[in-house]
């Protein structure tokens, strides 16, 4: 089984901010942060 990556609280808050405040789609936010959606 593949081990899940762990993200910091700050990273998660940045991701949420992109979607809620800057109106990114989830896919755009993921691409911006260098992760898969």
The span from the CA of 37 to the CA of 12, in Å, is 13
Give the pLDDT score at 6: 92
Q: How confident is the model at residue 37 (pLDDT cuts 50, 70, 90)?
A: confident
Domain count for the chain = 1
Residue 29 lies in a domain: yes
Task: Give the predicted TM-score (pTM) of the model.
Answer: 0.73
Q: Two tokens at 21?
A: 């405040």
Range of the domain at 37: 7-37
Q: Under 8 Å CB-to-CB from 27, ≥6 apart: which residues?
A: 37
Residue 2 lies in a domain: no
pLDDT digits (tens, 9 = 90+) for 9-32: 999 999 999 999 999 999 999 999
Query: In the chain, how many H helices and how many E strands?
Result: 2, 0
The span from the CA of 15 to the CA of 3, in Å, is 21
Q: Check if the beta carbon of residue 11 is closer than 8 Å to that of residue 33.
A: yes
Residue 1 lies in a domain: no
């Amino acid at each position: 089984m593949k081990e899940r990556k762990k993200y910091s609280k700050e990273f998660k808050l940045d991701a949420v901010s992109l979607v809620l405040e800057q109106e990114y789609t989830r896919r755009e936010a993921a691409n911006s942060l260098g992760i898969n959606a």
